[in-house]
């Protein structure tokens, strides 16, 4: 009786709900015949001596539901459905060799083979408006597959360059030299003067403090420029007369720079570049004058922000310094060519404009992009009852930046196996669009993605934080549904038929 009531409520819900649940390629009439045949079989099990009454009651129930559909806004009364209901009811009622088990398992098999709804998105991702053009729907015919060059041009056609940014001046050569700031360690030498010579750290006020001299402003000054300031201070302070002894200032170690990075990077915000830990300090280098300038370059700040996104505009990266905006071109970094990597200063603000399009050439490890991405994975054949059983601690994997969905599916063991039972598996990719902030979900038939000629057009690049899930084939679904049905009813009380 409980199973009969559950089946009755299920049929009523599926018949009257606003959105019909798709059942793949199963014809509608066949589904009706199976559903009402199974309902009749369950009713006959409870009232085995009332075949006619059960058949009439189930048909009246179907008629009532069909008439009720005419009262809903998106349903209508169908005589064909009533005929299909009657066929299923008649077969079970008057053909005794067809047992309730056959019809019930048939209905559950249809449920197991049914397709789930296609993922919906706020944007028209299926039409090609997603972050990656490869998120769009898979075409039915591969004979007219676009060549690689055409696919690349189609992806770049959505780019919107910021031509107005070219009005900003290019960061000049003199501004590319390293400047001093708070926390830098300096070696000051004034002839044989042991009092004024020594190792000094630039204090929080941004000045160099030497004995018997007033503070020397340091912010924005180079070591050579600060040496000239010190010479002038020695003369004006009356500590020395011309000619002055040899005066030099060398940078022993520069402190970390705090830079604000915004725009088309994976982790915008304030970053510290060139920070040293005690383990990084080399005793030999501590005694040497100078500090490597490349650690304070623009590319270091971009890497500290987890690298450029594939929609970044490399030609017009902006650097705001002391109220003025400069422009830097880093296209050479992407093309593996020589390029200028300007040194940044404390307080600089970096803005990376977005082109609003996905550039496949930027989705790979470079000096301005990330090396790898972490992806969340799920390939459970059946739901696990605990985190330990599902190996949840191993669900996040790090792969090389530029890895595509199909490569990850192979790594997840979602490809291959018994062809007859596994070939119809499909995968779902969940990825956040960094431009809009919306999560985009796409679905791919795994075997079709493997077999089709234009697979590269529909094989997305994995982004940081993406999630990939594999769903089982229809054969596996039907097997598990049948297994669940047997577990519920075993031992089957009506195995002998009607």
pLDDT reported for residue 43: 76
Structure tokens at 78: 């169908």
Return d(Cα 151, Cα 134) in angstroms, integer. 9
Residue closest to 472 by CA, chosen among 447, 439, 496: 447
Contacts of 465 (CB under 8 A, 6+ apart): 373, 374, 375, 376, 431, 432
Residue range 326-374, pLDDT digits in tens: 999 998 888 777 788 888 888 889 999 999 889 888 999 999 999 999 9
Band (pLDDT 50/70/90 cuts) for residue 307 is very high
Residue range 282-292, pLDDT digits in tens: 554 555 555 55
Structure tokens at 261: 């990075």
- What global pTM score does this model have? 0.68
Which of 137-146, 206-215, 329-338 holds the top average pLDDT?
Answer: 206-215
Sheet bearing 247-253, strands edge to edge: 198-201, 185-190, 247-253
Band (pLDDT 50/70/90 cuts) for residue 22 is very low
461 and 402 Cβ atoms separated by less than 8 Å? yes
The tally of CA atoms less than 13 A away on the side-chain side of residue 209 is: 8
162: pLDDT strictly greater than 80: yes
Q: Average of pLDDT values for 183-206?
A: 89
The tally of CA atoms less than 13 A away on the side-chain side of residue 383 is: 1
Return d(Cα 172, Cα 484) in angstroms, integer. 72
264 and 298 Cβ atoms separated by less than 8 Å? no
Q: Is 242 exposed, middle or buried (0-12, 13-18, 19+ CB in 10 A)?
A: exposed
84: pLDDT strictly greater than 70: yes
Band (pLDDT 50/70/90 cuts) for residue 496 is very low
Angstrom distances, CA of residue 324 to CA of 286, 320, 321, 327, 330:
35, 6, 5, 10, 20
169: pLDDT strictly greater than 80: yes
Return d(Cα 254, Cα 182) in angstroms, integer. 9
Return d(Cα 10, Cα 2) in angstroms, integer. 12
The C-alpha angle with vertex 27 and arms to 25 and 28, in degrees rounded to 5, equals 125
309 and 362 Cβ atoms separated by less than 8 Å? yes
Phi first, then psi: give them for residue 313, nearest 5 degrees.
Answer: -100, 105
Residue closest to 29 by CA, chosen among 71, 79, 99: 79
- Reduce the DSSP state of residue 185 to 3 states and report it: strand
Q: Average of pLDDT values for 394-408?
A: 87
pLDDT reported for residue 19: 46
What is the distance, to the nearest Å, from the Cα of residue 49 to the centroid of all Cα atoms in its chain?
A: 60
The domains located in the chain, with CATH, are 2-117+478-489 (no CATH), 125-143+369-465 (no CATH), 163-174+262-356 (3.10.560.10), 181-253 (3.30.1950.10)
Residue closest to 240 by CA, chosen among 184, 195, 177, 291: 195
Average pLDDT, the chain: 78
Contacts of 283 (CB under 8 A, 6+ apart): none
Give me the residue label for tokens 């019909």: 20
Return d(Cα 471, Cα 383) in angstroms, integer. 11
């Amino acid at each position: 009786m409980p199973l009969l009531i559950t089946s009755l409520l299920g049929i009523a819900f599926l018949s009257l709900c606003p959105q019909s649940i798709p059942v793949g390629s199963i014809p509608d009439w066949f589904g009706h015949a199976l559903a009402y045949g199974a309902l009749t079989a369950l009713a006959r099990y409870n009232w085995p001596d009332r075949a006619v009454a059960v058949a009439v009651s189930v048909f009246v129930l179907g008629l009532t539901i069909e008439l009720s559909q005419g009262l809903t806004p998106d349903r209508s009364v169908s005589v064909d459905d009533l005929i299909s209901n009657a066929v299923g009811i008649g077969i079970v009622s008057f053909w005794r060799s067809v047992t309730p088990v056959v019809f019930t398992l048939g209905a559950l098999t249809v449920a197991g083979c049914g397709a789930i709804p296609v993922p919906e998105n706020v944007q028209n991702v299926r039409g090609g408006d997603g972050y990656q053009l490869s998120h769009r729907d898979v075409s039915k015919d591969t004979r007219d597959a676009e060549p690689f060059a055409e696919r690349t041009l189609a992806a770049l056609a959505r780019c919107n360059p910021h031509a107005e940014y070219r009005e900003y001046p290019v960061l000049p050569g003199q501004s590319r030299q390293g400047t001093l700031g708070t926390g830098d360690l300096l070696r000051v030498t004034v002839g044989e003067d042991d009092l004024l010579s020594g190792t000094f750290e630039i204090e929080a006020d941004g000045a160099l403090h030497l004995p018997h001299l007033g503070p020397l402003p340091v912010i924005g000054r180079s070591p050579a420029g600060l040496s000239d300031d010190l010479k002038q201070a020695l003369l004006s302070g009356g500590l020395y007369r011309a000619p002055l002894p040899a005066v030099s200032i060398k940078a022993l170690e520069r402190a970390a720079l705090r830079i604000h990075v915004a725009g088309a990077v994976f982790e915008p915000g304030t970053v510290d570049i060139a920070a040293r830990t005690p383990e990084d300090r080399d005793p030999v280098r501590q005694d040497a004058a100078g500090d490597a300038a490349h650690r304070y370059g623009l590319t270091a700040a971009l890497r500290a922000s987890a690298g450029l996104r594939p929609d970044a505009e490399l030609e017009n990266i902006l650097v705001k310094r002391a109220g003025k905006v400069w422009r830097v071109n880093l296209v050479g970094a992407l093309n593996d060519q020589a390029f200028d990597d300007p040194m940044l200063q404390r307080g600089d603000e970096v803005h990376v404009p977005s082109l609003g399009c996905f550039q496949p050439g930027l989705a790979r490890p470079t000096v301005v992009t990330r090396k790898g991405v972490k992806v969340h994975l799920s390939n459970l054949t059946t739901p696990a009852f605990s985190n330990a059983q599902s190996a949840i601690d191993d669900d996040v994997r790090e792969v090389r930046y530029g890895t595509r969905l199909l490569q990850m599916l192979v790594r997840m063991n979602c490809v291959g196996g018994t062809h007859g039972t596994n070939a119809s598996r499909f995968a779902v990719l969940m990825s956040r669009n960094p431009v809009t902030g919306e999560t985009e979900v796409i679905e791919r038939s795994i075997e079709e993605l493997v077999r089709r000629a234009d697979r590269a057009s529909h094989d997305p690049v994995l982004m940081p934080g993406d999630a990939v899930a594999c769903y089982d084939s229809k054969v596996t679904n039907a097997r598990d549904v049948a297994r669940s049905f047997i577990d519920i009813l075993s031992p089957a009380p009506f195995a002998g038929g009607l």
